[in-house]
């Protein structure tokens, strides 16, 4: 009986350590970069090119369906569903025609940015 309880306790402890390690991989970030649609991100993946990318292109139906990313420095962060919604709203409200620069806060998990806030940079 003691052996079974010990094995269960060890299994629960290992599961807790594994779950904690998974949470530790997500890191909080605050960054400034340019919004670009995922379809064009492969062709215009540098920050300099994203700064010149037309907002109208990102809002075209096919491009918008591909989702959005933020290019900051030499990294491209794909946005989660919440980030895609916020990026589309920001693109529609933007007064600039090219290179929507945004401030983003969230957590990075792999190559996906889980967005808490996204707003046009001032």
**8 Å CB contact between 65 and 59:** no
Cβ neighbours of residue 113 under 8 Å, at least 6 residues apart? Answer: 29, 70, 77, 78, 79, 80, 83, 104, 106, 107
In tens, the pLDDT along 76-100 reads 999 999 999 999 999 999 999 999 9
Q: What is the pLDDT of residue 53?
A: 95
Mean pLDDT of 5-28: 55
Average predicted confidence (pLDDT) for the chain: 86
In tens, the pLDDT along 17-28 reads 455 555 556 789
Q: What is the pLDDT of residue 106?
A: 97
Domain ranges of the chain: 27-120
Q: What is the pLDDT of residue 22?
A: 52
Task: Dig out the tokens for 76 from the structure.
Answer: 């491209």
CATH 1.10.3470 is the classification of domain 27-120: no
Give the residue with greater pLDDT, 102 vs 1: 102
Q: What is the pLDDT of residue 38?
A: 96
In tens, the pLDDT along 33-66 reads 999 999 999 888 799 999 999 999 999 999 999 9
């Amino acid at each position: 009986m003691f052996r079974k309880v010990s094995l269960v306790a060890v299994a629960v402890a290992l599961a807790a350590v594994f779950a904690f390690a998974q949470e530790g991989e997500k890191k909080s970030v605050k960054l400034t970069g340019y919004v670009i649609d995922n379809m064009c991100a492969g062709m215009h993946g540098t920050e300099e090119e994203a700064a010149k990318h037309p907002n109208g292109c990102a809002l075209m139906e096919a491009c918008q369906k591909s989702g959005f990313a933020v290019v900051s420095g030499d990294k491209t962060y794909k946005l989660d569903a919440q980030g895609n919604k916020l990026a589309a709203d920001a693109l529609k409200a933007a007064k600039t025609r090219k290179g929507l620069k945004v401030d983003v806060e969230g957590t990075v998990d792999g190559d996906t940015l889980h967005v808490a806030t996204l707003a046009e940079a001032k």
